[in-house]
Amino acid sequence: MRRALAIALTVLMVLALAACGQSAAPAAAPAAAPAAEAPAAEAPAEASVPSGVEDGVLTIAMECAYAPYNWTQGDDSNGAVPIKDSSNEYANGYDVMMAKRICEANGWQLEVIKADWDSLVPGVQSRTYDAVIAGQSMTPERSEQVDFAGPYLYATIVCLTRADSPFASAKGINDLAGGSCTSQSATIWYDTMLPQIPDANIQPAAESAPAMLMALESGQVDFVCTDMPTALGAVQAYPDLVLLDFAGSGNDFTAEDGDINIGVSVFKGNTVLLDAINAVLSPMTADDFNAMMADAIAVQPVGA
């Protein structure tokens, strides 16, 4: 009896506690602290400009008609290299010699494309070729369109005339006053130098260096303006021509560094190729360049 009473009392106490002490609703979970604002994703770094020589081939363009910088010949004598997509035509000259030196230093093969002068810069911009090695002046205007490695030559400005010309004894640009003249189109020779000659009778520009020289040889003009390497090559090919160098006369052409510094043009931002070429050119001196140019002139074919 006593046991049954104890059990009953225990049950009553449990029920009473359940009625009076119903557990409180669980406390709401604390509000989560505001998540820190995620930093904006950084824009991916701009992909580097392809060098163009990933395949181990340096594709360059030149006129192959601008001796002694470059010319076309019918065989591989004197180190000439095949011209791409041309049958039995080879390129040689100072530009080819320099291109071979650059390729040898970097372990690249050399591929030469023959192109018109006016298409050289657009071809670099469109990546039709990796670089232009073609006797280009490093002018500010060109430097806005392409990047330049170099210089790989320093070329002073001179004139050419025929030995029987009244201008053959000229001692300064003032002595050329009134003469008829021309030069190659899209060059500083035509655009910047000829206008410095008083009363110059400037004729339409020639489309190429050979055309410029032919205008002089045929008597269409009294003289032409060009750079020293081109003039030296010309007097070798045409013995009746006279080179007019006014340096030190006090009456010479006025030229900026960009006019006489000759460089290798590459696609804008192509620092890999630019640095690789500059690594070859930077240790070279003006004497090195001139010695190579003398070698090019020595093997220049007659009439090139």
3-class state of residue 114 by DSSP: strand
Query: Of 142, 160, 158, which Cα lies nearest the Cα of 150?
Result: 142
pLDDT, residue 8, reads 39
- Could you say which of 3.30.70.3270, 3.40.190.10, 3.90.25.10, 3.40.30.10 is the CATH number of the domain covering 157-254? 3.40.190.10
Backbone angles phi, psi at 23, to 5 degrees: -60, 145
The alpha carbon of 290 is separated from its chain's Cα centroid by a whole number of angstroms, namely 21
Q: Write down the pLDDT at residue 264.
A: 98
Amino acid 29: pLDDT? 40
Strand 201-202 and strand 180-182: the pairing is parallel
What is the spatial distance between Cα 217 and Cα 148, in angstroms, rounded to a whole number?
34
The CATH class, in words, for 57-153+258-299 is alpha beta
Say if residue 21 is exposed, middle or buried (CB neighbours under 10 Å; 0-12, 13-18, 19+): exposed
Buried b (16+ CB within 10 A) or exposed e, 45-58: eeeebebbbeeeeb
The DSSP 8-state label assigned to residue 299 in this structure reads: H
Helix %, strand %, coil % for the chain, to 5?
A: 35, 20, 40
- Which positions of the chain have pLDDT values less than 70? 1-47
- The DSSP bridge partners found for residue 149 are 264
Same topology between domain 57-153+258-299 and domain 157-254: yes
* CA distance linking residue 61 with residue 84, whole number of Å: 10
**Any idea where the domains of the chain sit in the sequence?**
57-153+258-299, 157-254
Q: Max Cα separation, the chain?
A: 154
Cβ–Cβ < 8 Å for 161, 297:
no
Q: Global pTM? A: 0.81
Over residues 14-72, the pLDDT tens digits come to 333 333 333 333 344 444 444 444 444 443 334 478 999 999 999 999 999 999 999 99
